[in-house]
Amino acid sequence: MTSHLDPRQTLRRQLRQARRSLSESEQFAAASALVSRYLELIEQLSSSSPKRVALYLSNDGEISPHLLCEHFWQHQIETYLPVVQGKELAFARYTKETAWKENQFGIKEPATSEYLPSHCLDMVLLPLVGFDANGGRLGMGGGFYDRTFANKRADQTPLLIGLAHSCQEVKSLPVEGWDVPLQAIVTPNKVISV
């Protein structure tokens, strides 16, 4: 008997391979273009620039928000990184002086016990494995973002914005009941408002 998650797992493997196959120069070009698309998103939202933004350290071929982070620091926007706390995420301040530790997945996290509650963030930029034009998202499968924002209404902060390479777009994603919807998806080529 096959699991109903098999199509998601197969798709996850294919899309992770696609993003890992991008060259270093393609990755850098994508990260550079992300800054312009982010500014386009802010203009579309017709809102002021956020004051507190969570992002991530890229891993496994994910599109890197490192140039976005530089933009935030230059504009005095506080940045935060996710820290695994049990089955959910907490958010720790990220600065050039941040001390590091590795979590159980071998991913670097800020070495601190001071966290900002997720509802105090204005925006969370989160990595995707896959996405579709309807705002469907496929993550790594751990469910950390889904559990962290499970009770968030669409009209509440923070805005949840997915970041991905263009090669991670699929025609349609199988969406599960626990998948937390995004407000937008940003790629190097476009902004999809959901």
pLDDT for position 19: 95
pLDDT for position 153: 76
pLDDT for position 10: 86
Among residues 131, 51, 43, 124, which one has the least CA distance to residue 81? Answer: 124
Work out the number of other CB atoms within 10 angstroms of the CB of residue 145: 25
Q: Are 126 and 166 in contact (CB under 8 A)?
A: no
pLDDT for position 4: 53
49 class by beta-carbon count within 10 Å (0-12 exposed, 13-18 middle, 19+ buried): middle
136 vs 122: CA distance, rounded Å: 21
- The contacts of residue 149 (CB under 8 Å, 6+ apart) are 118, 124, 160, 180
Domains and CATH numbers, the chain: 6-193 (3.40.50.10420)
130 vs 141: CA distance, rounded Å: 11
Task: Indicate if the alpha-carbon torsion angle 139, 31, 44, 133 is positive or negative.
Answer: negative
135 vs 183: CA distance, rounded Å: 8
* Average pLDDT, consecutive stretches of 10 residues, N- to C-terminus, the chain (194 residues): 64 92 95 95 83 95 96 96 93 95 90 92 95 86 87 84 94 79 92 89
